[in-house]
Amino acid sequence: MVDCKELADLIFPEVKDISYYEKKYPIRKLPEGAIVTRYAPSPTGLMHIGGLYQSLISKKISQQTKGIFFLRIEDTDKKREIENGINEIIQSLKEYEIEVDEGMISETESIGNYGPYKQSLRKEIYQAYAKHLIQQRKAYPCFCTPEELDEIRAKQESAGIRPGYYGVWAKDRNLSIQEAIDRIKKGDPYIIRFKSPGREDKKIKHKDIIKGNVEFPENDQDIVIIKADGLPTYHFAHIVDDHLMGTTHVIRGDEWLSSVPLHLQLFYEMGFKAPKYAHIAPIMKNDNGNKRKLSKRKDPEAAVSYYEKEGIPADAVKEYLLNIANSNFENWRRANPDKEKEDFELELHKMSVSGALFDMIKLLDVSKIVISKMTAKEIYEKVYKWAEKFDKELQQILQDKEYSLKVLGIERGNKKPRKDISKWSDVKENIIYMYDNQFMNSNIVYPYQVINDKNVIEKILKLYIENYYDENDDKQEWFNKIKELSGKLGFAKEVKEFKANPEKYKAHVGDVSTVIRVALTGRTNTPDMYEIMKVLGKESIQKRFKKAIK
Ligand code: GLU
């Protein structure tokens, strides 16, 4: 009588006994309550904002509990892999400062004691566990050809029966061991299937951390665990990996929720303790009143690279993602405007069951505030780096670092910093008028307002620069001078006074200020004019007035 052991040895003659791996990867010694979790992407496409969201959440949750966050590359589907896919993932995590405690740190290198962290390098580990299942008659070789599988599917379809390889449809499930051995020896191609003990008419109950209580039919499909190329399928590989790597919580996209019955069954049949699951709903978008998933195909903002191109700082994107992850983040932020976002305690069970809405306007608002808290130096460095890649003209403008730091420092570092930059691609438009080279050589249509008579404007500017402007004035003196100038030219020195006697004046001090502002900058709306003039300096002010008068 042949037994399963013989069959298992025939299929996997070389592999080690699983006891080897069980010893090699001991149970982690971590503080109580520590969460071990992972980001486990397949390198099959550009990094999606949903991937960033998932990794940010996983990292944060592990960090909050003094656990471990690792990056595992799930590259068992060699057909779907894209070139540079792994690097792209690693670079994105780096860019967003989502640091891994273990796992892949480059295309080929990893850190941590539970590796390899790339599934294609773990082939013999999966085979050892598949062998273990075969030895227990919990897995078997299946010799069905693609044509036979098509035939089964066609029959099921025409009979209106649930498709798949299960129960009576699982043709090779009950092949005798001898028969299987003979066919292998004969050279018939095969794959390995899991022998599911489940029944479709029975239910399993599961409590997901995000989705809450869910109920599904048991799994009864004899899924493929080892493919013809010797590599495992995702289902099988992640079971083995999460077991050996000590994952306590699987935090992943909710497209996997319906696989939970299968996964729990696999954990159970392997004799492993199952992790807890938290299935994250996809990030949604409001598309003309319809809520739908952010789509790589339709929405440029679905790609992580979009934010880099637009120049939305990584910290702002992360802060916004926390906003949509936990709706109480917003209140927390309001109560703690000066705290680091890292201090916020993220809770998985507070995440949206149906998918949080992504709102670009809100993101830019968040970004404005994040940027407003940066120093001029930080902004300079980030903008420069962005401009190097995306805007050569801006890079050129920023060459004069000392001057640029002054420009970017206007209304910054004080209690109410300026909030007019939400992304690096805004910066040029926001500062370009401060640079004489650009300003003096551009054609400007000056948007004068209440006072728009050329002669009056000329008079204001000339008198001001000759008799009133003094570089050493403090802000109060500076403003008093503009008042005096206004009085001298017959305008109201105070807005109040103007309002009380509108028939007496043509305009007031504010209108005079506007003339100066427009002549200096070509704009009606700018940050604090006193600071602007300080940065420009007298010579530039004179030049600008001359240009305006011309
Ligand atoms: N490789 C799977 C994916 O990219 C991972 C799912 C999981 O985290 O378990 O969707």
Q: What is the CATH number of the domain that holds 466?
A: 1.10.10.350
Looking up tokens 């739908």 gives 292
pLDDT band at 1 (very low <50, low <70, confident <90, very high): low
* Angstrom distance (rounded) from CA 249 to CA 35: 7
**Helix pair 376-390, 424-431: axis angle to 10 deg:** 100
Mean pLDDT of 129-145: 97
Residue 308 lies in a domain: yes
* Angstrom distance (rounded) from CA 166 to CA 221: 5
**10 Å Cβ neighbour count for 137?**
13
Residue 271 lies in a domain: yes
User: Best of 118, 234, 260, 276 to mutate for ligand 1, by most ligand atoms within 8 A of CB?
Assistant: 234
Of 310, 338, 372, which residue is a domain's last?
372
Ligand 1 contact, 251 CB (< 6 A): no
Of 280, 315, 338, which residue is a domain's last?
280
Task: Tell me, yes or no, whether 357 and 462 share the same domain.
Answer: no
pLDDT at 9 over 80: yes
**C-alpha angle with apex 150: 148 to 155, nearest 5 degrees?**
95
- Report the share of the chain in percent with pLDDT over 90: 95
Task: Tell me, yes or no, whether 389 and 488 share the same domain.
Answer: no
* Angstrom distance (rounded) from CA 514 to CA 464: 13
Task: Tell me, yes or no, whether 295 and 383 share the same domain.
Answer: no
Ligand 1 contact, 241 CB (< 6 A): no
Residue 99 lies in a domain: no
242 Cα nearest atom in ligand 1: 9
Residue 368: CATH number of its domain: 1.10.1160.10
Rounded to a whole number of angstroms, the CA Rg of the chain reads 33
List the residue whose alpha carbon is closest to atom 4 of ligand 1. 41
54 Cα nearest atom in ligand 1: 8
DSSP 289: T
Alpha helices in 359-419 (DSSP H): 360-372, 376-390, 392-397, 401-409
Task: Tell me, yes or no, whether 158 and 9 share the same domain.
Answer: yes
Residue 182: CATH number of its domain: 3.40.50.620
Mean pLDDT of 72-82: 90
Higher pLDDT, 1 or 426: 426
* Angstrom distance (rounded) from CA 486 to CA 506: 11
Q: 95 with 386: CB under 8 angstroms?
A: no
Task: Tell me, yes or no, whether 308 and 406 share the same domain.
Answer: no
* pLDDT of amino acid 413: 84
Q: How far is the CA of 72 from the centre of ligand 1 (A)?
A: 9
Ligand 1 contact, 238 CB (< 6 A): yes
For residue 140, give both structure tokens.
């078997």
Residue 53 lies in a domain: no
User: Best of 55, 256, 257, 276 to mutate for ligand 1, by most ligand atoms within 8 A of CB?
Assistant: 256
Task: Tell me, yes or no, whether 382 and 315 share the same domain.
Answer: no
Task: Tell me, yes or no, whether 252 and 366 share the same domain.
Answer: no
pLDDT band at 45 (very low <50, low <70, confident <90, very high): confident
Mean pLDDT of 93-115: 96
Q: How many domains does the chain have?
A: 4
51 Cα nearest atom in ligand 1: 4
Helix (H) or strand (E) holding 148: helix 146-158
Q: In what order do the strands lie in the sheet with 290-293?
A: 290-293, 284-287, 357-358
Q: 236 with 130: CB under 8 angstroms?
A: yes
| Structural domain range at position 338 | 286-372
Residue 42 lies in a domain: no
Residue 93 lies in a domain: no
Task: Tell me, yes or no, whether 254 and 154 share the same domain.
Answer: yes
Task: Tell me, yes or no, whether 247 and 325 share the same domain.
Answer: no
Task: Tell me, yes or no, whether 274 and 130 share the same domain.
Answer: yes
Task: Tell me, yes or no, whether 9 and 135 share the same domain.
Answer: yes
Mean pLDDT of 357-385: 96
Alpha helices in 441-474 (DSSP H): 454-463
Q: How far is the CA of 12 from the centre of ligand 1 (A)?
A: 27
* Angstrom distance (rounded) from CA 242 to CA 36: 10
Task: Provide the whole-model pTM.
Answer: 0.91
CA distances from 37 to 40, 55, 113, 241, 337 (A): 9, 10, 15, 12, 30
Mean pLDDT of 195-200: 95
Task: Tell me, yes or no, whether 127 and 263 share the same domain.
Answer: yes
Q: How far is the CA of 143 from the centre of ligand 1 (A)?
A: 28
Q: What is the pLDDT of residues 470-525, one digit of tens each?
A: 999 999 999 999 999 999 999 999 999 999 998 999 999 999 999 999 999 999 99
**10 Å Cβ neighbour count for 232?**
27
Mean pLDDT of 177-196: 97
DSSP 166: B
Q: 338 with 372: CB under 8 angstroms?
A: no
Of 259, 280, 301, which residue is a domain's last?
280
Ligand 1 contact, 72 CB (< 6 A): no
* pLDDT of amino acid 46: 86
Ligand 1 contact, 41 CB (< 6 A): yes
**End-to-end Cα distance, the chain:** 107
DSSP 493: S
* pLDDT of amino acid 81: 85
Residue 259 lies in a domain: yes
pLDDT at 79 over 90: no
* Angstrom distance (rounded) from CA 269 to CA 235: 13
**Helix pair 509-521, 454-463: axis angle to 10 deg:** 90
Q: How far is the CA of 40 from the centre of ligand 1 (A)?
A: 5
Residue 484 lies in a domain: yes
